[in-house]
Amino acid sequence: MTDNPATYQEAVDGGRYFRSLISWSTDAAGVHTDPTGAQFPNFAQYRVDIEQLKSDSGLVLSFSTRSDAELGDTYTKMEILVNGLHYKHDSSGTALTTGDGRTWSPASNEVTLEHFASDTELASDSLAAFDKALAFLPANGGTIKLLKSEYKVSDEIEIGDGTPTSISTKTGIKIVSIAPGGVSEGKSGTPRNGTKILWNGATSDSKSVIRYKGPIHSCELSGVFIDCAGKAGTGLRPTHLHNYTFRDIHVVRYGATGWILDVNDAPLPSGCTYGGGEGRIERCSALDPRTSALATDTATNGILIKGGKTNNVAQSRIVFAGCEFAIGGDSGTYGIGFDFADNHVFYEVFTQYADGSTTSGKGIKSFVHADGYLPGTFPGEVTFYNCPIVGGLEGAPGTLGYIFMPYPTSDGEPIPALDNVRAMTYDGKLHGRWRGASSYFIGRSDPGVGLTSATKYYPPTGLGAGFATDVGGMAMGEDIKIYKLSVELDGSPGTGNTRTFTLNSAGSATAATLTFSEGETGKKEYTSSQGVTIPANNDLSMESSVTGTPSNTNAKWSIEYGIA
């Protein structure tokens, strides 16, 4: 038993410890005096004062360890400190139960894992503490501060509870490392200050160490080193996350893809008006895929940026700065992958081959879907500033869309001479062009309006309600050739009716035309090996004409073209 008036006093009450921030004094004879002047010559007499203390709502009890608190007496109206962590009484609290059976929660929405578990428990498995901390935070979020340099988890840390049909009931969740010193692992011994979260679960490429379950918005994660331990396939997988910041997040020893930025490919749930994106990803990486994956030449990729093709769910407007992503494994691998994702900006982002990998993977890969339909020149309008892309680019002509690479000619590798990349250097001169290969215009009718039963005219690209006259075309900057017209109709015209789709050049019909008769739906294609020429400065438009009064439906189309 310790009696140290300079800090706190201890007393024995029914075999349990009692600690208080009350200042007591002790005379030479060992008589203890409380602040009111009452004197107690021995510890047993402290019990006389306990009922008085119960009624004092201003008292804050202090316990030096969690174990002491779990044995200690407390008072319902009091707050307590446990090793410096602040708690408030909560009849439904799950953070701590003291020796008198009372339950406690953190005193604010800024919490730590240590609020919810002992050091011994955290050293074994921190998953339950993460779950309790996330469950404690209110609907509008809060902050979880990571105090230690390492936490182990036996399964996925799930942030949010969104589903394809419902928005997450919690948003605004921040997880921030404030660990002193932090870990120092990484590529070439690069310091990685922060907290390591180490996967300690089963081997599964379908598992992610941290998974956001959206739709969810306004989240932050910073200072975290995610070690998949050669077992988890992915380090970080945000699904339908919007308006967020990831800062200093580093993923290593992953078995499949280090990062997957995903969405729910389903109609947006009630109350949700956004897809994935509007994020900032700063000083992040996926660099060291697991050795076993490389040894068997299994594909391991840096990051996949993925939208929802089936339901047109966006994954867009993400800014990357100072990041590195590794290419590991065979020829199917990539550092940065785009799948139905557009409108992103990359500042000084690197791709590189992982140690021990082959050199046949690509720095950037754009996916083409099996049905051949490209929903937009994705990833369209992606901008790279001073980005050394080791491994070059891969994708069917046109699938990389309009990529601008302001790139100092004296810095890094040469710009890959891929036909569908338009490259611009820092001096503002256009040094590359589409060298006769194919690109795509993508368009569709507005689902809120439909095609109706009248003749309408649409621009070749984008979403629109259509015009009654041919006034909405797009002027061609150069002579182009149309090689393929693909149109997909949602519903048939109906008995005795037809719908015809024709590309017009300067208001005149071209040979690129498709007709859907009664009962026909789905996709049709017109192809021309020689190409249909559209002269420079001519407006290109899509005409949707009808016979009869076809049922209202919608259409989407892709137009494959090349510079003549």
pLDDT at 476: 79
Same domain, 76 and 163: no
- The DSSP secondary-structure symbol of 186 reads S
d(CA 107, CA 109): 7
Among 419, 435, 451, the domain-final residue is: 435
pLDDT at 356: 64
Asked whether residue 131 is domain-assigned, the answer is no
Of 151, 142, 78, 167, the closest CA to residue 114 belongs to 151
Q: Average of pLDDT values for 228-247?
A: 94
For residue 459, the tally of other CB atoms under 10 A from its CB is 18
Tell me how far CA of residue 190 lies from CA of 181, 183, 186, in angstroms.
14, 10, 5
- The per-residue pLDDT of the chain, averaged, comes to 77
Residues 6 or more apart from 132 whose CB is under 8 A from it? 94, 95, 116, 117
The answer to whether the peptide bond before residue 215 is cis (omega within 30 degrees of 0) is yes
8 Å CB contact between 521 and 491:
yes
Place of tokens 């690509």: 362
Residue 6 reports pLDDT greater than 50: no
Same domain, 403 and 386: yes
pLDDT at 194: 85
d(CA 389, CA 367): 18
pLDDT at 8: 34
Share of the chain above pLDDT 70, in %: 71
Q: For the domain that residue 205 is a member of, what is the CATH number?
A: 2.160.20
Residues 6 or more apart from 252 whose CB is under 8 A from it? 185, 186, 225, 226, 227, 228, 235, 286, 287, 288
Return the higher-pLDDT residue of 170 and 395.
170
pLDDT digits (tens, 9 = 90+) for 25-41: 445 555 545 444 444 44
Residue 415 reports pLDDT greater than 70: no
pLDDT digits (tens, 9 = 90+) for 425-469: 333 333 333 233 456 677 888 888 889 888 999 988 777 788 889
Lowest mean pLDDT among 180-184, 504-508, 556-560: 180-184
Q: Average of pLDDT values for 98-121?
A: 95
Share of the chain above pLDDT 90, in %: 43
Token pair of 50 as six digits:
């306990």
Rg (CA), the chain: 32
Among 380, 414, 435, the domain-final residue is: 435
Residue 404 reports pLDDT greater than 80: no
Tell me how far CA of residue 10 lies from CA of 5, 20, 32, 63, 536, in angstroms.
10, 7, 11, 10, 90
Residue 127 reports pLDDT greater than 80: yes
Q: Average of pLDDT values for 213-217?
A: 95
Same domain, 146 and 92: no
Asked whether residue 165 is domain-assigned, the answer is yes
pLDDT digits (tens, 9 = 90+) for 540-564: 999 999 999 998 999 988 888 876 6
Token pair of 242 as six digits:
């919007």
Count: domains in the chain? 3
Residues 6 or more apart from 544 whose CB is under 8 A from it? 445, 451, 455, 456, 457, 458, 466, 499, 500, 501, 555
pLDDT at 179: 87
pLDDT digits (tens, 9 = 90+) for 184-210: 444 433 445 689 999 999 999 899 999
Asked whether residue 395 is domain-assigned, the answer is yes
Asked whether residue 478 is domain-assigned, the answer is yes
What is the domain extent for residue 508?
A: 440-563
Tell me how far CA of residue 89 lies from CA of 44, 82, 104, in angstroms.
27, 13, 5
For residue 55, the tally of other CB atoms under 10 A from its CB is 9
pLDDT at 295: 41
Q: For the domain that residue 476 is a member of, what is the CATH number?
A: 2.60.120.340
Return the higher-pLDDT residue of 23 and 536.
536
pLDDT at 299: 60
pLDDT at 313: 87
Same domain, 255 and 376: yes
Same domain, 529 and 557: yes
d(CA 146, CA 94): 19
Same domain, 274 and 332: yes
Same domain, 227 and 157: yes
Place of tokens 């306004």: 218
**Left, alpha or beta for 228 (phi > 0: left; psi -120 to 50: alpha)?**
alpha
Token pair of 112 as six digits:
């730590």
Same domain, 96 and 165: no
pLDDT at 460: 86
Asked whether residue 499 is domain-assigned, the answer is yes
Among 382, 409, 435, the domain-final residue is: 435
Residue 306 reports pLDDT greater than 50: yes
8 Å CB contact between 226 and 174:
no
- The DSSP secondary-structure symbol of 375 reads S
Same domain, 201 and 254: yes
Place of tokens 């340099």: 149
pLDDT digits (tens, 9 = 90+) for 49-79: 444 444 444 567 888 899 999 998 886 667 8
Residue 374 reports pLDDT greater than 50: no
Same domain, 413 and 460: no
pLDDT at 474: 83
Token pair of 496 as six digits:
């005795």
pTM of the model: 0.64
pLDDT at 181: 63
Same domain, 499 and 420: no
Lowest mean pLDDT among 60-64, 145-149, 300-304: 60-64
10-19, 62-71, 103-112, 350-359: which is most confident: 103-112
What kind and span of H or E run contains 17?
strand 16-20
Asked whether residue 120 is domain-assigned, the answer is no
Q: Which amino acid is at 116?
A: F
Q: Average of pLDDT values for 173-178?
A: 95
Residue 373 reports pLDDT greater than 70: no
- The DSSP secondary-structure symbol of 342 reads B
Same domain, 251 and 190: yes
Cβ density class 255-284: b for 16+ within 10 Å, e for less: bbbbbbbbbbbeebeeebebbbbbbebbeb
